[in-house]
Structure 1
């Protein structure tokens, strides 16, 4: 190794030594604080009571069923809105319905209670605020239905939604409509109605 290279290596080594020494020279005091942070998501939990709202047989045109059921918010987050999705299937025992849809002969009427809860089904205590046939409801998206119903008050709460830990009631009347015409093709037939209730959270906010 030449003298120049040796001198060069010596300068680098000396500089590195100074840097290491200098690094500890000025750190007389030192203090460290650790921050442990937690982000826990809340729960959105909608419970239906009872889960089976209608279980009726031996129906004839003109019969109707009045039911009230509870939508419970059993989660930790407030529910801003509840969407309803409708679907159904028909069992045609005689296979003679042709193009006739039994769902067009059932009308769902959403009720607004104007008295105490125990009087919900008294004729002078409730008002039909919105109605559609099952066929019409099944053809609508939950969002479309919500838009149509936003001008109607069907909940007990004055504000929208269901606060965490609380519940709200929904009352409905379903009628097997007597249209005054021959409906004999529906004798013995059955209809299975599926309602799916979807709870939506409130908008995000500063925490």
Structure 2
């Protein structure tokens, strides 16, 4: 390599070294601030009291049973809607059922126990089982709870009347049978809002 090239390479290396040294020792003012932020989610906590609404034995066609229960909002968020899903199983004592026992149990959702003639919605357990939870809300809970839904720390009393419908025909197939009813209540939140 000739001397000019060696000198040129030496100058380039020196310039690079000086730029790195000066860049590393460059000083400036700075300041920083840290913020602490929290996102705490609320809770939906729907409770039904008592958890066993009805237990009755020795019913016959024509019998009716009125029961009341509470829906409680024990959470930190208002409940917008209450959905109800119905399921049941029939114990066929004699193995001779040609009809669904649930078709013969009528359910009346009432406004209150003092006025049993004020029916919100009336259907059979069989029909109720076929309904979507949203449809039950529309027919039962919307008229009962209204637009305010179920606010935090509130309790709403519900009254239901069960009728073993006497259809005037032979209902002997249901003698000794049982029906286990399961109601699942589900709460939904109100629409989100700007906070």
User: Same fold, TM exceeding 0.5?
Assistant: yes
Query: What is the DSSP-based 3-state SS (H/G/I as helix, E as strand, rest coil) of the residue aligned with 2:48?
Result: strand
What residue is the counterpart of 2:15 in the other structure? 11
Structure 1 consecutive aligned stretches of length 4 or more whose deviation exceeds 3 Å: 147-150
List gaps (5 residues or longer) in structure 2: none
What residue is the counterpart of 1:57 in the other structure? 57
List gaps (5 residues or longer) in structure 1: 114-119
Per mean C-alpha deviation after superposition, the further-off stretch among 160-169 and 73-82 is 160-169
What residue is the counterpart of 1:170 in the other structure? 158
State whether structure 2 residue 98 is matched by structure 1 residue 110: no
Query: What is the DSSP-based 3-state SS (H/G/I as helix, E as strand, rest coil) of the residue aligned with 2:58?
Result: coil
User: How many residue pairs align between the two structures?
Assistant: 191
What residue is the counterpart of 1:135 in the other structure? 126
- Aligned partners of 2:176 and 2:164: how far apart in 1? 14
RMSD: 1.7
- Aligned partners of 1:162 and 1:112: how far apart in 2? 16
Determine if contact 1:112/1:153 at 8 Å carries over to the other structure.
Answer: no
Residue 166 of structure 1, CA deviation: 1.3
Determine if contact 1:84/1:198 at 8 Å carries over to the other structure.
Answer: yes
Task: Point out the structure with max Rg over C-alpha.
Answer: 2
Residue 141 of structure 1, CA deviation: 1.2
TM norm structure 2: 0.91
Q: How does 1:1-150 map to 2 (within 5 A)?
A: 2-22=6-26, 24=27, 26-27=28-29, 30-98=30-98, 100-113=99-112, 120-123=113-116, 126-149=117-140
- Aligned partners of 1:62 and 1:160: how far apart in 2? 37
What residue is the counterpart of 1:117 in the other structure? none
Query: What is the DSSP-based 3-state SS (H/G/I as helix, E as strand, rest coil) of the residue aligned with 1:58?
Result: coil
Determine if contact 1:109/1:129 at 8 Å carries over to the other structure.
Answer: yes
Query: What is the DSSP-based 3-state SS (H/G/I as helix, E as strand, rest coil) of the residue aligned with 1:109?
Result: strand
- Aligned partners of 2:157 and 2:148: how far apart in 1? 13
- Aligned partners of 1:62 and 1:128: how far apart in 2? 18
What residue is the counterpart of 1:194 in the other structure? 182
Query: What is the DSSP-based 3-state SS (H/G/I as helix, E as strand, rest coil) of the residue aligned with 1:153?
Result: helix
Residue 149 of structure 1, CA deviation: 4.2
